[in-house]
Amino acid sequence: MTGQIPIQTTDPDVIEAELILPEYTGIVSSIHDGFCFISKVKRATETIATNGDVFCPSDEFSVGELVTFHELNTDSKRPGKFRTESASKDNSQCLSGPVSGLGQTALEVHRTLNANLTAYHNQAKFATEEEKDQALANKPFDKYLKTMAGLTQESDTITDYAKQLLSDHCYPELVPFGVDFNVIGEIDEEAEQKRILEAATDFRDADMEQMAKALETQYENMAGVRRIFTMMHQQDILRLDTVLPMKHLPELFMACPVWFVESKESIPNNKSANDPLPDHVVKFFSDCVGTRNFAWLYQMYNRRTRRFNAFNGHGRDLMPPSLIKILKQAKEVFDYVAIITPYHDIASTEWADPNWQRSLDPFLVGFSRNVPLMFILGRWSGTGLFPLFLDMVVDTIAHLKSHKHLLTNFHEPYWYMGDTECGANAIISSRSADGDGHQLVHFTNKLLKAYKNGKIFDFLREQTPRLQATNS
């Protein structure tokens, strides 16, 4: 409703006009894939009580931007809260300053986030500002970086955000069954399980056994993730950057490319095999992005799946006690749980050069089949996703530049999404199609060119970036 009221007049010299009531205005507080939230809502000079941020189905804004909208409706998916169907940029005035004291450039946002560095990082491997500028030019996480920077780390904000992720993005199909997505631990699970059992029974009475099983499986998965979130909240390690869209797996991988994985499904022991076939772990993570470029990069660092028992942290990266408790439950809930690290020296050993100074601060991440999200269960430093992120990307690029020639040690290996068929499998051919050296070296050169052009994440997602000819 725009609030436009016609002015009626009998004076022939007065042109009929409209009195325009003031629109709503607000500040974009966070941006997500396909939607955003608006805070500090006003109408003229009147502050509107909205009981939290207002939902808007658009992501075409920036955090801190002033927007206008015409309607304010109750939000059926968020009882007690509000939504608007559309908003537009307000060009009539500018914000007097950045939201929450944050600068307007991505680099300033990054520097603000890096204020979370702790004593744990005293021995970190830092990049230069120029190197970090180049990493940032590739737009890692794109809007997501500013989204997280624009939100507060207050407990209510975090738990509301986690609840919304579960209900709107992970398990929306469970909403009609009366499931409680609260992650603060105040849930009558016995009554909830009873409702799910009754619904499953109704499906079976209607001769829909598969639908009953699907409901039970989805509920079991959701309840497991909810319990982990609740435990993280109770131990004060639940953060806003706990859950990432799967499309950002390339960013996470470029920071931490050496992985250790456990799975509900048995993982074959191929440590001693000269040329192992790609196992289900390799295929799963390659398929999470679904492109050949990402699959090749993943296998360059993780051709043989490393198990947790191979992780030792070299005495520096000891897993915190809080994460050990999370890990026990995570292995029961998620299809795959990974310790992802910046330990390039381990890959260097496999590439025949162990002399590489490693970075620190691994992540513990959970993955579930058919859920397009990654669950950041914790980080060794306890600081969340962003601190040192650019430094770690710079380190991966430096490792690729320094060691790409050693990729020639891969002599036509079995390779998921390889370029040459070999029976029922695929391999990497020794030479590239244009004869320009070893196939993986050729691939790495293209990857490095994409990075120098600020397009590495487009390259890994195969969004056909335009590359300028550069020296790698």
Tell me, yes or no, whether 380 lies in a domain: yes
Domain count, the chain: 3
* Residues 282 and 325 both lie in one domain: yes
Which pLDDT tens digit goes with each residue over 299-323?
999 999 999 999 987 667 889 888 8
Query: What Cα–Cα distance (Å) separates residue 396 from each residue in 21, 253, 330, 458, 463?
Result: 56, 9, 28, 17, 21
Tell me, yes or no, whether 180 lies in a domain: yes
Confidence at residue 465, expressed as pLDDT on a 0 to 100 scale: 47
* Residues 389 and 246 both lie in one domain: yes
Which pLDDT tens digit goes with each residue over 350-377?
786 556 777 888 999 999 887 888 889 9
At 27, which CATH number? 2.40.50.140
Tell me, yes or no, whether 448 lies in a domain: no
Is the confidence at residue 250, as pLDDT, over 50?
Answer: yes
Tell me, yes or no, whether 184 lies in a domain: yes
Q: Please give the residue range of the domain that contains residue 44.
A: 20-94
Confidence at residue 363, expressed as pLDDT on a 0 to 100 scale: 94
Least confident stretch, 44-58, 146-160, 164-178? 146-160
Q: Are 346 and 256 in contact (CB under 8 A)?
A: no
Least confident stretch, 89-93, 326-330, 333-337, 399-403? 89-93
Give the mean pLDDT of 432-449: 83
Confidence at residue 106, expressed as pLDDT on a 0 to 100 scale: 53
Confidence at residue 348, expressed as pLDDT on a 0 to 100 scale: 76
Specify the higher pLDDT residue, 450 or 274: 450
Tell me, yes or no, whether 219 lies in a domain: yes
The percent of residues in the chain predicted with pLDDT above 90, rounded, is 37
Least confident stretch, 40-49, 59-68, 408-417, 462-471? 462-471
In the 3-class helix/strand/coil scheme, how is 164-184 assigned residue by residue?
HHHHHHHCHHHHHHCCCCCCC
CA distance 289 to 278: 16
Confidence at residue 464, expressed as pLDDT on a 0 to 100 scale: 60
Of 196, 213, 238, which marks where a domain is finished?
238
Which pLDDT tens digit goes with each residue over 98-112?
333 333 445 555 555
Which pLDDT tens digit goes with each residue over 75-103?
888 888 999 999 988 654 332 233 333 33
* Residues 203 and 252 both lie in one domain: no
Is the confidence at residue 266, as pLDDT, over 90?
Answer: yes
* Residues 24 and 77 both lie in one domain: yes
User: Quick one: which of 177, 172, 170, 225 has its CA closest to 200?
Assistant: 177
* Residues 246 and 233 both lie in one domain: no
Specify the higher pLDDT residue, 371 or 343: 343
Whole-prediction pTM value? Answer: 0.72
Confidence at residue 1, expressed as pLDDT on a 0 to 100 scale: 35
Which pLDDT tens digit goes with each residue over 205-243?
999 999 999 999 999 989 988 988 898 888 777 877 788
Confidence at residue 461, expressed as pLDDT on a 0 to 100 scale: 95
CA distance 259 to 305: 8
* Residues 279 and 381 both lie in one domain: yes
Of 204, 238, 272, which marks where a domain is finished?
238
Confidence at residue 432, expressed as pLDDT on a 0 to 100 scale: 63
Tell me, yes or no, whether 353 lies in a domain: yes
Confidence at residue 116, expressed as pLDDT on a 0 to 100 scale: 67
Query: What Cα–Cα distance (Å) separates residue 428 from each residue in 186, 300, 421, 436?
Result: 53, 11, 9, 14
* Residues 260 and 369 both lie in one domain: yes
- Residue 429's pLDDT band, with cuts at 50, 70 and 90, is confident
Tell me, yes or no, whether 301 lies in a domain: yes
Confidence at residue 252, expressed as pLDDT on a 0 to 100 scale: 95
Give the mean pLDDT of 268-295: 91
Confidence at residue 104, expressed as pLDDT on a 0 to 100 scale: 41
* Residues 325 and 306 both lie in one domain: yes
Is the confidence at residue 415, as pLDDT, over 50?
Answer: yes
* Residues 227 and 301 both lie in one domain: no
User: What residues pair up with 410 in beta bridges, in sequence order?
Assistant: none
- The structure tokens 């309840």 sit at 223
Which 3 state secondary structure label does DSSP give 206?
coil
* Residues 233 and 267 both lie in one domain: no
Is the confidence at residue 113, as pLDDT, over 60?
Answer: no
- Residue 12's pLDDT band, with cuts at 50, 70 and 90, is very low
CA distance 325 to 233: 13
Confidence at residue 433, expressed as pLDDT on a 0 to 100 scale: 59
Is the confidence at residue 387, as pLDDT, over 60?
Answer: yes
The percent of residues in the chain predicted with pLDDT above 70, rounded, is 82
β-bridge pairing 373-379 and 243-245: antiparallel
Tell me, yes or no, whether 136 lies in a domain: no
Least confident stretch, 20-24, 47-51, 178-182? 20-24
CA distance 259 to 216: 31
* Residues 299 and 362 both lie in one domain: yes
Which 3 state secondary structure label does DSSP give 89?
strand
* Residues 218 and 246 both lie in one domain: no
Is the confidence at residue 25, as pLDDT, over 60?
Answer: yes
Q: Are 378 and 350 in contact (CB under 8 A)?
A: no
Give the mean pLDDT of 124-148: 82
Q: What are phi and psi of 311, to 5 degrees?
A: -90, 125
- Residue 148's pLDDT band, with cuts at 50, 70 and 90, is low
Highest mean pLDDT out of 274-288, 353-367, 432-446: 274-288
Confidence at residue 201, expressed as pLDDT on a 0 to 100 scale: 96
User: Mean pLDDT in the chain?
Assistant: 82
CA distance 382 to 360: 13
- Residue 120's pLDDT band, with cuts at 50, 70 and 90, is confident
Of 238, 272, 304, which marks where a domain is finished?
238
